[in-house]
Amino acid sequence: MRKLILILVCIGLLSLPFSAMAATEAQKQAAIDAGLAFLALQQQASGAIGSYEIASTAAAVLAFAEEGSTISGGPYQGVVQNALNYILNNAISTPIAVQPAGNPDSNANNIGVKWQIWGNEDLYVTGLAVPAIVKGGTSSSVVAGGSQAGRTYADVVRDAVDLFAFAQNEPAWGRGGWRYTPNYGNSDNSVSQWPVIGFLYSGQWGINPPQWVKDELVNWVNYIQSASGGSGYTQPNEWVNPGKTGGLLLQHQFLGIATADPRVQNALNYLKNMWNTYGSEGVFGDAYMMWAIYKGLEVTIGLDNMTTIIPRLQGGAVIDNPNHGWNWWEDYCEYLVSTQDLASGAWWNGGSWVDWSLATPWYINILAATQVPGPGGEVPEPATMILLGSGLVGLAGYARRRMKK
């Protein structure tokens, strides 16, 4: 009877309106743990996880890695190794050549490495694969099969970075950005965030694009920002939304543009003005949008900032976090804890653009306070790895979140 009452109480708490309470650290960690366990159960014999093949498998690896499971250890070590084997075994070598802006071939082997989903969308998928390899693997690990067999993980990442440089758009329309496949002929700022994400993570292994890639990207960043401060799609005033604006902030960070710069401030003001919007074009309810916005805000203002973005809950929320009060990140955490589908498997609905297999790992990364590397690849060593070594696994996520702030 007591157990039944406890269940009913829990159900009652979960059914409270979003604005009535705030997620505690324990609730965040419970959501993360349940989500990781769910993802592990979805792994197929091939090593793949989810319906987006390489893309969703790579997103899952990043989620596991951020919580301390890599090919070197952790409770999901085997899951990560099998997933990375699947990713690397499906890498595609492709010829690259000198571009008008410069030579992308840093190791003079005349090839780039990419990944595809359904035969296209190379830049999306490769931008997801590179962070997974860097965070889940080691630079000296050796690829077991496929076209890259016998090469180190760092060799593969180097050629993926070369592919990004080769793929950058050169024509006047969209110069400096990227689109679905290399040298597409124009650019869009949904795709253009993904090579940049790849660059930020590859920098952790000291693998960076040539300076001319950044020089070219400045053209795109300056062009695509609308008068509202938000980012357009292929043109400044076309399909402006918060998700692409999060990608724009990430590009600013990669280029070393200071937070005080008007371009950055205008983008932040746009997100502030849009913060209470909902649905596929808002800042809540769509995984693709939320992950892009999270990354852009995390690298620009961090998780402690309480003034730049006016949160949905502007007071009265009780939060188990001694380091700061309610802010934009806690808004996201409360939303995610309250919308996780525990009844049918501890996953999240992705909204309009993606399904559970991308939404779940991306939302785990948001809850886990994931730090995107800076333009030089700098990210403090996660406390998780230290705690795993000392046997304090249960406290890892909690302590690391404190360390990151």
Q: Residue 304's pLDDT is what?
A: 87
Q: Is the pLDDT of residue 21 over 50?
A: yes
Q: Is the pLDDT of residue 1 over 90?
A: no
**Do 130 and 157 contact (CB within 8 A), yes or no?**
yes
Q: Is the pLDDT of residue 12 over 50?
A: no
pLDDT digits (tens, 9 = 90+) for 204-227: 999 999 999 999 999 999 999 999
Residue 99 forms part of a structural domain: yes
**CATH number (domain holding residue 63):** 1.50.10.20
Total domains in the chain come to 1
Ramachandran sector of residue 278 (left: φ over 0; alpha: ψ -120 to 50; beta: rest): beta
Residue 219 forms part of a structural domain: yes
Buried b (16+ CB within 10 A) or exposed e, 344-360: ebbbbbbbeebbbbbbb
Least confident of 162-166, 249-253, 321-325: 321-325
- Supply the angle between the helices 193-202 and 153-167 in degrees, to the nearest 10: 150
Cα angle, residue 286 at apex, residues 281 and 291 outer, rounded to 5°: 105
What number is the average pLDDT over the span 190-196? Answer: 98
Q: Which residue has better confidence, 392 or 375?
A: 375
Domain that holds residue 211: 23-404
- Cα gap 199→157, rounded to integer Å: 10
SS3 85: helix
- Cα gap 36→61, rounded to integer Å: 10
How is residue 225 written in tokens?
């920002």
Least confident of 48-52, 214-218, 302-306, 369-373: 302-306
- Cα gap 171→188, rounded to integer Å: 13
Q: Is the pLDDT of residue 335 over 80?
A: yes
- Cα gap 367→334, rounded to integer Å: 9
- Cα gap 364→147, rounded to integer Å: 32
Q: Residue 321's pLDDT is what?
A: 63
Cα angle, residue 48 at apex, residues 160 and 337 outer, rounded to 5°: 100
Residue 126 forms part of a structural domain: yes
Q: Residue 323's pLDDT is what?
A: 61
- The position carrying tokens 């960070």 is 253
Phi (first) and psi of residue 143, to 5 degrees:
-70, 135
pLDDT digits (tens, 9 = 90+) for 129-173: 999 999 999 999 999 999 999 999 999 999 999 999 999 999 888
DSSP state of 347: B
CB burial of residue 314 (10 Å; 0-12, 13-18, 19+): exposed
Q: Residue 315's pLDDT is what?
A: 52
- Cα gap 270→300, rounded to integer Å: 14
**123: nearest Cα among 173, 175, 189, 64:** 189
Q: Residue 322's pLDDT is what?
A: 59
The terminus-to-terminus CA distance of the chain in angstroms comes to: 42
Least confident of 49-53, 122-126, 129-133, 317-321: 317-321
What pLDDT band is residue 276 in, cutting at 50, 70 and 90? confident
**29: nearest Cα among 359, 340, 380, 385:** 340
Least confident of 50-59, 122-131, 280-289: 280-289
- Cα gap 34→98, rounded to integer Å: 47
**Do 361 and 62 contact (CB within 8 A), yes or no?**
yes
Mean per-residue pLDDT of the chain: 87
What pLDDT band is residue 358 in, cutting at 50, 70 and 90? very high
CB burial of residue 95 (10 Å; 0-12, 13-18, 19+): exposed
CB burial of residue 271 (10 Å; 0-12, 13-18, 19+): buried
- Cα gap 302→262, rounded to integer Å: 18
Q: Residue 386's pLDDT is what?
A: 29
How is residue 300 written in tokens?
């620009």
Residue 3 forms part of a structural domain: no
Q: Identify which of 103-112, 273-282, 315-324 has the greatest average pLDDT.
A: 103-112
Q: Residue 306's pLDDT is what?
A: 87
Residue 18 forms part of a structural domain: no
Least confident of 74-83, 237-246, 281-290: 281-290
Distance, C-alpha 28 to centroid of its chain: 18
pLDDT digits (tens, 9 = 90+) for 85-118: 999 999 999 999 999 999 999 999 999 999 998 8
- Cα gap 355→52, rounded to integer Å: 9
What number is the average pLDDT over the span 384-388? Answer: 31
What number is the average pLDDT over the span 395-404? Answer: 37
Residue 5 forms part of a structural domain: no
Q: Is the pLDDT of residue 385 over 70?
A: no
Q: Is the pLDDT of residue 14 over 80?
A: no
Q: Is the pLDDT of residue 317 over 70?
A: no
pTM score, two decimals? 0.89
Q: Residue 393's pLDDT is what?
A: 35
Residue 11 forms part of a structural domain: no
- Cα gap 370→193, rounded to integer Å: 17
What pLDDT band is residue 338 in, cutting at 50, 70 and 90? very high
